[in-house]
Amino acid sequence: MKKKAFITGIAGQDGSYLAELLTKKGYKVFGIIRRNSTVEHQKSRLEHLDKDVEISYGDLLNESSLHQLLKKIQPNEIYNLAAQSHVRVSFEIPQFTIKTNALGVANILEAYRLNSRNAKFYQASSSEMFGRSVDKDGYQRETTPFQPTSPYGCAKVFAFNMVKHYRIAYKLFACNGILFNHESPRRGSNFVTNKVVKTAVRIKLGLEKKLKLGNINSYRDWGHSKDYVEAMRLILNYKKPDDWVIATGQTRSVKQMTDYVFNKLKLNKKKHIFIDKKYFRPEELKYLRGDSTKAKKYLKWKPNYRFEEMLDEMIDFWMDHYERS
Ligand code: F7E
């Protein structure tokens, strides 16, 4: 019989790549999306998977839909990827972020415990939980304490602890993937990599003149979403439930990332880039660099994409997009 996976956040970057990966592996995939007044584009990343993916309306804050769906589907694997995922926005709408990213996780954990406890559960935990905390050697790993610097990070720490608590208290196969930043052409264009690439391509094509950025001196460990959804699957298919850091081990500043894109497109940075206070955060997370030794050793996971290759793919995507439209 086909394995069944249930994915929240299925229409997002990670959800859609994960649905692609799992259907290729022979899974039947189920997912929930929230109702939206503009139905166009909502399922655009999933249209090519139509026959292997079944979508229902649902929400982490609408508990009854979670209970009903899990009871009916009886999935083998549950991937909780739904979230208010934008860190800067979490300062503007902290309560909504906390409801979705913290209470929402408590809701789905209860639905899981009460209706499909034989399933394995994956929680999209985040490097944002580390916040100010860095080990002496300049890395963050599974043992690094959490010191979050945003409402988003605080909510993710709550969710992380709940998953661990459910694993111990109820003996559930519940896991956390502590994923560092991961990007792709499907990344929302209000996240910094895709904002830089999309705007630079528009400048190159004469459609725009300025790129306005916030803190270009923060460092991130950027990988490719396709590599990271593979890690999610490996985490749930390991012999025991656990928590795992997934990262490339390399760090670069926003400035270095922007330099690469502008050089590649032969654009003059001084002419087009402006710093705008609007994009700064009340507290900045300055530095991320993950150590995935544990995932490499036990899950046999490693990233395949190089940083430059990922940015090149994103540049090609936007070039193609504007040349076709
Ligand atoms: O910012 C700086 C900004 O919004 C990266 C989410 O997936 O990864 C992501 O969170 C850095 C920050 O990602 C702009 O201050 C400068 O230092 O692309 P981002 P993020 O906040 O790191 C973690 C792991 C998650 O879990 C989250 O869900 O870039 N930055 N100028 C800017 N950032 C944005 N968005 N826009 C700017 O104009």
- pLDDT tens series, the chain, 325 aa: 899 999 999 999 999 999 999 999 999 999 999 987 666 566 777 778 777 899 999 999 999 999 999 999 999 999 999 999 999 999 999 999 999 999 999 999 999 999 999 999 999 999 999 999 999 999 999 999 999 999 999 999 999 999 999 999 999 999 999 999 999 999 999 999 999 999 999 999 999 999 999 999 999 999 999 999 999 999 999 999 999 999 999 999 999 999 999 999 999 999 999 999 999 999 999 999 999 999 999 999 999 999 999 999 999 999 999 988 7
Same domain, 65 and 175: yes
Quote the pLDDT of residue 42. 64
Same domain, 154 and 43: yes
Instruction: State the CATH number of the domain containing residue 22.
Output: 3.40.50.720
Query: For the chain, how many structural domains are there in total?
Result: 2
Same domain, 80 and 208: no
In a domain, 84, yes or no: yes
Quote the pLDDT of residue 40. 59
Distant-in-sequence, close-in-space partners of 182: CB < 8 Å, separation ≥ 6? 14, 222, 223, 224, 225, 227, 228
Same domain, 256 and 232: no
Residue with CA nearest ligand 1 atom 1: 192
Examine the residue annotation and report whether 85 is marked as an active-site residue of this protein. no
Same domain, 200 and 125: no
In a domain, 293, yes or no: no
In a domain, 50, yes or no: yes
Angle at 291 between CA 285 and CA 296, to 5 degrees: 145
Q: 130: closest CA among 229, 245, 228, 292?
A: 245
Quote the pLDDT of residue 325. 79
| Ligand 1 cavity residues, CB under 6 Å | 85, 87-88, 126-128, 180-181, 190-192, 195, 213-216, 218, 220, 254, 279, 281, 284
Residue with CA nearest ligand 1 atom 15: 215
**Atom of ligand 1 at shortest range from CA of 218:** 17
Same domain, 26 and 57: yes
Residue numbers of the domain that contains 201: 189-220+251-288+306-324
Burial (CB count within 10 angstroms: exposed 0-12, middle 13-18, buried 19+), residue 274: exposed
Quote the pLDDT of residue 48. 80
Q: Which helix (H) or strand (E) holds 257?
A: helix 254-264
**Residue 290 three-state SS:** strand
Burial (CB count within 10 angstroms: exposed 0-12, middle 13-18, buried 19+), residue 123: buried
In a domain, 296, yes or no: no
Q: 136: closest CA among 148, 128, 125, 145?
A: 145
Instruction: State the CATH number of the domain containing residue 261.
Output: 3.90.25.10
pTM (two decimals): 0.97
**Token reading at 88:** 């800067």
Same domain, 54 and 177: yes
In a domain, 299, yes or no: no
Examine the residue annotation and report whether 184 is marked as an active-site residue of this protein. no
Residue with CA nearest ligand 1 atom 20: 87
Examine the residue annotation and report whether 323 is marked as an active-site residue of this protein. no
Helix %, strand %, coil % for the chain, to 5? 45, 20, 35
In a domain, 39, yes or no: yes
Same domain, 23 and 91: yes
Cα–Cα distance measured from residue 145 to residue 131, given in angstroms and rounded to the nearest whole number: 9
In a domain, 143, yes or no: yes
* Structural contact between residues 11 and 46, judged by C-beta atoms closer than 8 angstroms: yes
In a domain, 169, yes or no: yes
**Token reading at 84:** 């208010």
